[in-house]
Structure 1
């Protein structure tokens, strides 16, 4: 996982969904709220460590599509695990195979 992805345009929407679902525990929840109000680059080294671990090891995170190898878009992240760790395109194509 490349932390530069936390600067992508749709990341904050994904993060807000995690907060709304209560999918994060403290201190990651508090750090996430800080990121929503500011940005990832505003975090300290220790905060980044906690945040990175919470996001990357979280239930709602899949790094890459298991079929095509592309990064899963943040807008699809919550459902990627339910789609066999695939992006929506590969999941749809797989249903037609």
Structure 2
């Protein structure tokens, strides 16, 4: 069983979560940028910052996941201290 840690509710079964997509820099996104994100999404290897939702509590947070090993490295709420020290995606 795969476990993900919700920043509010603690460790939970991965089946309780919904993947919402990668975290993007929202500053100055043009129409072309948005189209590229929707239709030409990159498939990078390495660590990716992603939006996730804990469905029972409706908590939306950011998780850093290694795409090579599918290991969840950490999770945190947007605006928390961990968010300010995260590397840009």
TM-score, length-scaled by structure 1: 0.26
TM-score, length-scaled by structure 2: 0.28
Higher RCO, 1 or 2 (CA under 8 Å, sep at least 6)? 2
Higher helix share: 1
Higher strand share: 2
